[in-house]
Structure formats: structure tokens, C-alpha cells
Structure 1
Amino acid sequence: MASITLKGNTIETIGNLPKTGTKAIDFSLVATDLSVKNLGDFSGSKLILNIFPSVDTGTCATSVREFNKKAANLENTKVLCISRDLPFAQGRFCGAEGIENVVMLSDFAAGRFGKDYGLEIVTGPLAGLHSRSIVIIDEKGIVTYTEQVSETVNEPNYEAALKAL
């Protein structure tokens, strides 16, 4: 269990992020077209997993916009934006914002991704949602970087994540 904060109040997650140097855990997430995407669908590419509570909040939306801008210039890298939002909400957000360089994926059905990656929030008002986190996975499926943002309303460290590629 990890402790993070929401506006200064302590909340807990179900576990801890995967350790660097370990094989990334497979996942099944739903894309905005309702297809199911697994880790293997992205094999051979570097991955930035931009994980957040809900695209309907300011900080979460900002992280998607920032990675959308930065992803346009990255070679052999895909940015997967993952939340418990419904795929329809994710698609609506991307359409309204002109977001085209990231892949939006939803963990809405069972929250299995959040549990497997140790980042589901289990206490406080955001219980059941994902904590703001970054996981970088290399072309071979190995976790090379993680960040669990300690204060939920803060943005992730974009530069550190990009440097880890």
C-alpha cells in the first residue's frame, strides 16, 4: 500500500507501482472504438503509460494535452493515457481537444489494470479510481521508470519521464 495525498489529505493505494527492471504486467483495456487492447498490441514500441483518475479534471486533462504535444516528436514511442473514464468520455475529450497523438484506454469494467499495477486508490473520495502515475516500458516489455505523483492534484514530472525513454 502506498500513501499519497489529495489536497493535503492522505489517501492510500492498493499496492505499489511495478519495480523498474521487471517485466510489465499484461493488461486488457478498452479503446475509444471499444476494441480491447493488450500490452502485446504495442510490442516493439516504447510506451509511456500516463495514468490518472479522470480526464474530466483539470490536471488529468493537462497531462493528456502535454503528452499529446510531446508524443508528436517521439520515435518508436506510444503514449497510452489510462483512466477509469468510459471510452465515450475519453473519445469526446480527444475530439473536442484535437488530441491525436496518444492512445486513450479505459479500465472502466473491472479496474483490473489499477489493481495489477498497484495504483487503484482504496481510501478517500477518489476510491476506485487510479492514482496519477507514469510507467515507462521499453521495447522488450521491461519497466524502466515509474512515478506515482505524491500529491494527486499535481502534474507528473514530464521531463523525467521523457528522459527515461
Structure 2
Amino acid sequence: MKITFQGNELTLVGNQVVKGEKISDFVAYDNSLKPVTLKDTKGVRIFLTVPSVDTPVCDLEVATFNERIKEMPEVTCYTISMDLPFAQARWCAAKGVENVKTLSDYKDRKFGEITGTYIKELGLLTRAAFVVDSNNEFVYIEYLEEITNQPNFEEILKAAKEAK
């Protein structure tokens, strides 16, 4: 898949996933540097990959999900970026983000690898959204062709509501 950042083509590294495929194990790090693996996540999950939470487009995306996910206590939403956990923690505190969990892929780049979201030229993750059901299967996948575009909030939330 071709993606662009402000019209400039970039290269994604890793394997893009398809609906019905099972998510592979990964390790990312929470705001206290604790490793989080697939086994640490349960139920229906939304995984959002973003270049950096500290940019206007990513800020709006995470803030929107932070507000909307409150209506869905049975769904856990994770935002994964290459931001350092310390920066994610500061950003969450400053923005009042409490309903979305931030994870950092800075150390191993494993989440980027298993979802094909790592951008070779920038060393960041591209903007994408995944809904994974309680059987660890992808039920919704959206890779944004232009990194500065927002994902389809309504479709992501609909897929999460319908997942079991």
C-alpha cells in the first residue's frame, strides 16, 4: 500500500494485516515503561496507530476517542505511537486523557512490524485503526492513505460495538 505525508510518498515496513487474520503477539510499553503484550489485553480492543500524540491531527483523533469510548465500557482503546512513554504520560495528563491507553512502540517496533505501520523514512508509525475481537481476530482495518487524514470514527466505533 502506498501512503503519503503531505503528498510525499513513504514506505511502510512490516506485514499489513487483513480482516479475519489473528493479531500476532507484540510488546509495547505503557507510560510507566512496563511492557504490555497481547496477553495483557482482553476483550474487544481498538488499536490506533499514530505518528505522534503531540501533533494537531493525532491530538484530535485521541481526544475524540477518549470522549466517545466512555460510552463503550466493554471496549478498550489503545493509541500506539513511537513517542517515548514519558512524553505520552505528560501529554495524557495535560489533555485529560483517561479513557484511551497510550502505548509506545519506541523500543522494539514490534507493533509496527506486525501491523505493517512502521514508516521507514520517518521512524514513526503511520495512521491506522484496527478493531480486534475477543478471539484476537481483526474485524476492522483502516490504513489511511494520507497520514494527515483522520480515520473513520463512526465505522471504527460501529465495528467495535458489533464485535464479540
Give the structure-1-normalised TM-score.
0.93
Aligned length: 160
Q: CA deviation at 1:151?
A: 0.8
**1:97 counterpart (92, 95, 98):** 95
Q: CA deviation at 1:15?
A: 4.1
- Aligned-pair identity (%): 37
Runs of 4+ in 1 over 4 A off after TM superposition: none
Residue 134 of structure 2 is matched in structure 1 by 139
Does 1:27 pair with 2:22? no
Residue 61 of structure 1 is matched in structure 2 by 59
Q: Secondary structure at the match of 2:119?
A: coil
Q: 1:46 touches 1:77 (CA, 8 Å); kept in 2? A: yes
Q: CA deviation at 1:61?
A: 1.1
Amino acid at match of 1:57: T
Q: 2:28 touches 2:108 (CA, 8 Å); kept in 1? A: no
Q: Secondary structure at the match of 1:66?
A: helix
Does 1:154 pair with 2:152? no
Amino acid at match of 2:135: K
Residue 79 of structure 1 is matched in structure 2 by 77
Alpha-carbon distance in structure 2 between the residues aligned to 1:75 and 1:101: 9
Unmatched runs of 5 consecutive residues or more in structure 1: none
Q: Deviations over 1:69-112 (max 9, x none)?
A: 01111131000010000000000000001110011100011212
Between 112-121 and 89-98, the greater mean CA deviation after superposition: 112-121
Residue 112 of structure 2 is matched in structure 1 by 114
Unmatched runs of 5 consecutive residues or more in structure 2: none
| Backbone CA RMSD of aligned residues | 1.1
Residue 70 of structure 1 is matched in structure 2 by 68
Alpha-carbon distance in structure 2 between the residues aligned to 1:70 and 1:33: 25
Q: CA deviation at 1:11?
A: 1.3
Q: Secondary structure at the match of 1:81?
A: strand
Alpha-carbon distance in structure 2 between the residues aligned to 1:22 and 1:152: 24
Alpha-carbon distance in structure 1 between the residues aligned to 2:139 and 2:21: 8
